[in-house]
């Protein structure tokens, strides 16, 4: 017969030697305390998350507002520069026209046009070459067709209105005459 004092019972092996046996009521009280601690920790983490979400939303709003202010400032700067060019053109129209002033007027308008084109280039807007180029419906608007000997079919043979682009974005299609053999 084995000695019961030296070999532990199988159910005693699962519990530590210093474990205190709790009554079911004590165990429920202990578990309820743990649940309350877990709920408190969850609520604290939820509050942190909500604060971070609110902080993120405030940063997003602030960045959006700053971006809009910067874009508006760029627009106003462009408009002020364009108005200076318009002023030059208006002064040219007020100039009395005689043979000598017509030459000066023509030169002044040419300089004003170059100043305007520089303003466009400074803002990333460029004219694109259309004359003698293949017709491209993404860049050109055909206003008529014409037969021109010696030019390839579907080639731009005349430009009525220049086209402009910024990078790959077309701002205005060129109005062109296209060769049709």
Q: Which domains are assigned to the chain?
A: 18-123 (no CATH), 125-181 (2.30.22.10)
- Walk along the chain (181 residues) and give the pLDDT tens digit of each residue: 445 444 444 444 445 544 578 899 999 999 999 999 999 999 999 999 999 999 999 999 999 999 999 999 988 888 888 888 888 877 777 777 776 777 777 888 888 888 888 888 888 899 999 999 999 999 999 999 999 999 999 999 999 999 999 999 998 999 999 998 7
pTM (global) more than 0.75: no
What is the rounded CA–CA span in Å between residue 66 and residue 61? 9
What is the rounded CA–CA span in Å between residue 88 and residue 120? 17
* CB-CB contact of 132 with 174 (8 Å): no
* CB-CB contact of 141 with 176 (8 Å): yes
């Amino acid at each position: 017969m084995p000695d019961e004092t030296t070999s532990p019972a199988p159910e005693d092996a699962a519990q530590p030697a210093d474990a205190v046996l709790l009554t079911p009521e004590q165990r429920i009280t202990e578990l309820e305390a743990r649940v309350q601690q877990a709920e408190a920790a969850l609520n604290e983490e939820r509050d942190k998350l909500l604060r971070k979400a609110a902080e993120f939303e405030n940063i997003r709003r602030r960045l959006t507002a700053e971006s809009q202010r910067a874009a508006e400032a760029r627009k106003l700067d462009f408009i002020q520069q364009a108005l200076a060019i318009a002023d030059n053109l208006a002064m040219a129209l007020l100039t009395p026209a005689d043979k000598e002033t017509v030459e000066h007027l023509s030169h002044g308008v040419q300089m004003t046009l170059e100043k305007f084109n520089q303003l466009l280039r400074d803002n990333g807007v460029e004219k694109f070459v259309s004359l003698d180029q293949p017709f491209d419906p993404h860049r050109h608007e055909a206003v008529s067709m014409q037969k021109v000997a010696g030019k390839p079919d579907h080639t731009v043979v005349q430009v009525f209105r220049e086209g402009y682009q910024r990078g790959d974005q077309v701002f205005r299609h060129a109005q062109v005459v296209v060769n049709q053999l």
